[in-house]
Structure formats: structure tokens, C-alpha cells
Amino acid sequence: MMVIRPAQTDDLQDILQLAAAAGTGLTTLPNDPVRIKDKIASSLKAFNTPINEPGPEYYFFVLEDTEQQKVVGTSALVAAVGMDEAFYTYKLGTVVNTSFDLGIYNKHQVLVLGNDYTGCTEIATLFLSPDYRGGVNGRLLAKSRFMFMADFPERFADTVIAEMRGYSDKEGNSPFWHSLGRHFFSMPFAKADAISGLGSNQFIAELMPQYPIYTTMLSQEAQEVIGQVHPKTKPAISMLKREGFRYQNYVDIFDAGPTIEAPKDQIKTYRSSKLMQLIVGKPHMISDNPPETLMVSNRQLETFRTGIIESDFDGEVLYVTESFLSALAVNEGDSVRVARLRAKPQSNTNRQ
């Protein structure tokens, strides 16, 4: 069975293997035992601390194959970005220059450096082992975070954001970085991105130009990738858009990848999830539709668990097995949160 749970100290080696497989593209999952230890420790503290409003807390989740007793994926939530270190983005705006005497009207796009997302919740650190891709594992890893947010809404901000990886070629070269960032940082793109991933962004304030950047001064290649994602990121952004996330003209300062956002209470999984009572037994279908693939969270904080079951979403009772109870650390009669992992299937019944 596949189960989402908080990362533990004993998961270190498995997580490091995932970090090695992720390579340099995922800066929030470094192949560094000291930094991973720090992330786990920070996460455990967040899970064990009473909180009434979001702050810099970091919640680190893993996907475990319980049969193999192996961690095969990671994901995370940052309760409120920019609380310890400034959270920088570029806002893509418009400037109009007009000369009535010459009859000239020019409209320009400009990039303005800012901290508009300070205090927002960020979803991050999503990575799934290549051996476990396909099926529903990726969806579970990504959407389970919204289940946790629904269980503990007071811990998260009203707006949720996701920074998406921007376009780069097969050699890892970013046209946007080549046209802009390299002139100010005097270091390779991968190094600057990695330093930013450490959480220390003072160097951005020190080195980045503080004035608006006219995009027409960038190369044509750089202009074309502003707000575009890396080819491997397209499935992830498509899934988040189906959850209600939208691009609002904010982009990453290094590779110009889009930052997308959604009101917390409008995220599809968050909004459509509901509470059901657990009963041991075979599912009793009350609808004409076949069983659905559902996510089930145990609604517990320190021992949070989310798993998958095929059952009926239309009632108030969820029938499960004893082994499912054990995997989610719950008892019969407990209240759990349930949401569809996939879109509801169409009924085969012809209705007149």
C-alpha cells in the first residue's frame, strides 16, 4: 500500500537516494545529508508545535511503499513564504510611452522585482521515484497536501502558490538567465539557483537590478520563455490548473518559470473533500457509478496519514479493511477526510 506521512529521521537514506535521482533541477531537495537532516528536523518541529496562524513552518511529507518499507517520493508545504528570508519574484507588467507630437504610441512589457507573495503558502519539493511513476502515485503525492491543508486550515495562508520550473534546454541552459541574470550574478545558472534553494536570498537583493527590466531589451529567445515551463513540468502544471491554480503574470527571477496561485478555499481537492465515518466491511455502493479512486486522510497532525481506496464517495460511510485501518493508524468509527483522486467516472446507465 502507498501511504503519505511526515518525513522521519530514519528516512534520511531513502530521501538522499531520491535527491540524487532528482539531480540539480529540484533545488529544494538537495543531495546533502546535513541539509536534508535540517529539513526533517524543521518539519518534525512544525508537526509537533501548536499553531494558530501560518508562519515559516516547513511540513515535509514522504510517500512510502509500505510493502517494501521504502520512501519513494517527497512533497512539502511552506506555511508562509518570505517570513525569514525575502521571497522574490518578477511581476510582468505594462508601460506605455506616448509622444503626441510624433504620433508614436509604444506599449512595453516590463519585469518588476518584488515580494508580493510574502506570507502566502507554497507547495514545494515534489519528486517521485522514476520506478513509481505512472498510475495514481503522482496524483496522491501532489494532492495529499491539499488534504492536510483542509484538515488544518489555520496553519496555512488564504493564498497558495507554486513556483514552476522554467524552460531550459537539454543541456540545462536557460535562455532567460543567459540574457539577464548572468550579467549580474557572475556565476552559472545552476549555482545561483542552488544558492537560492538554500533559503538564503540576501545575495539577490545585493546583486539584482532594482529597476524595471524592459523585456524588449532581452534576447528574442528569452522573451519567448517568460512564463513558460520546462517540458518535464507540463504534467504538473496541468494538474495544478485543474485544481484551480492560475498564472497571474509572476515569474521566477532566474529562469522566468511561472508562479501560479489559487485561493486556498477554492482549490478543488480542498473544497470538495468531505468527512466520512469508517466501517469495516465490503463497500456498499449507493450510486450507479463504479467504485472511485479516493484519497483518505486520518485527520491527525503528528501522525498524519493519507492512503488510497476504491470505494463510493456518495455516502457518509466509508467501508474499509482492517489492514487499511492499520495503515492509516485509525480505528473503526473514526472520522476521516475523503476526496476524489481522479475525476468522477461517467455512469454507464442510460437515463431517460
- By annotation, the residues acting in catalysis are 230
Q: Where do runs of H (alpha helix) occur along the chain?
A: 12-22, 33-47, 137-151, 175-176, 182-185, 189-197, 202-207, 220-225, 234-242, 268-272, 322-328
Residue 253 near residue 113, CB atoms below 8 Å: yes
Three-class DSSP category at 250:
strand
- Alpha-carbon distances, residue 10 vs 6, 7, 304, 331 (angstroms): 11, 8, 17, 26
Residue 306 near residue 297, CB atoms below 8 Å: yes
What's the count of helices (H) and strands (E) in the chain, helices before strands?
11, 15
| Residue whose grid cell is 511513476 | 133
Residue 296 near residue 308, CB atoms below 8 Å: yes
- Alpha-carbon distances, residue 272 vs 184, 239, 318 (angstroms): 46, 16, 16
The strand pairing partners of 306, in sequence order, are 4, 297
Q: Are strands 58-65 and 70-78 parallel, antiparallel or unpaired?
A: antiparallel
Residue 160 near residue 267, CB atoms below 8 Å: yes
